[in-house]
Chains A and B, each alone.
Chain A
Amino acid sequence: SAVISQKPSRDICQRGTSLTIQCQVDSQVTMMFWYRQQPGQSLTLIATANQGSEATYESGFVIDKFPISRPNLTFSTLTVSNMSPEDSSIYLCSVAGTREGYEQYFGPGTRLTVT
């Protein structure tokens, strides 16, 4: 299995500012992903974080708004830029490709409120 930690666990931010969310895994993994879960909704995939290259974004998500870094096999960051109240969501880091297989593991999430 993989144990994932995220920082911060929650934050309240003002519109127009940016927040960087960190994701740390306790073992090397092949794949890292970022999801968003808006209030009362299911999870939506934002992007796949690729080590050493640009992230792969899903339709509706762009690098300027959600820049992602992945400097190594255990760490990634997601930045939510120029925030608006519509960005208020839970952001979850997820990983796959551990020694045991390709089951996906999820972090506890970062609850973001934009005022």
Chain B
Amino acid sequence: DAKTTQPNSMESNEEEPVHLPCNHSTISGTDYIHWYRQLPSQGPEYVIHGLTSNVNNRMASLAIAEDRKSSTLILHRATLRDAAVYYCILRDVGNTPLVFGKGTRLSVIA
């Protein structure tokens, strides 16, 4: 599996936007970029995914660089409930299991 690099931790103020970066310089043409998050004492949950174009859903936005070697997960208004570990994962098309890196621990300050 292609590797991703994320900062170990980030901090944000409540109600502010948060940009979580991810580098994936060895991404292949069939790799989708997935983001999952793990809230305290819970299993991971799906956030968003994309291939080439920017994506939006009710939880977040995903901005993908034109060369696909990096991406950014955007939380438009951080809340205390968004405090979690965020994982950026490359996954080939199909049903291969997710392989987790270390992720970014996001702290949200009231």
Contact = CB atoms under 8 A, between A and B. Distances in A.
Nearest to B85: A42
Contact of B43 (A31, A44, A108): A108
Interface residues of B, number: 18
Interface stretch (B13-21, B61-69, B99-107): B99-107
A48 interface: yes
Interface string B71-110: 0000000000000010100000011011111110000000
Contacts, number: 45
Nearest to B99: A45
A107 B99 contact: no
B104 to A, nearest CB: 11
Given A104-B46, A107-B43, A108-B42, A48 B97 contact: yes
A70 B35 CA distance: 28
Nearest to B36: A104
A35 B44 CA distance: 11
Chain A binding surface, main DSSP class? strand
Nearest to A105: B46
Contacts of B95: 30-31, 96-97, 102
6 contacts: A42-B102, A97-B95, A103-B49, A104-B97, A106-B44, A106-B45
Interface of B: 36, 42-46, 49, 85, 87, 94-95, 97-103
Interface of A: 4, 30-31, 33, 35, 42-45, 48, 92, 94, 96-97, 102-109
Given A35-B100, A94-B98, A106-B43, 14 more contacts: A4-B43, A31-B97, A42-B85, A42-B101, A42-B102, A43-B44, A44-B100, A45-B100, A96-B95, A103-B46, A104-B36, A104-B44, A106-B45, A108-B43
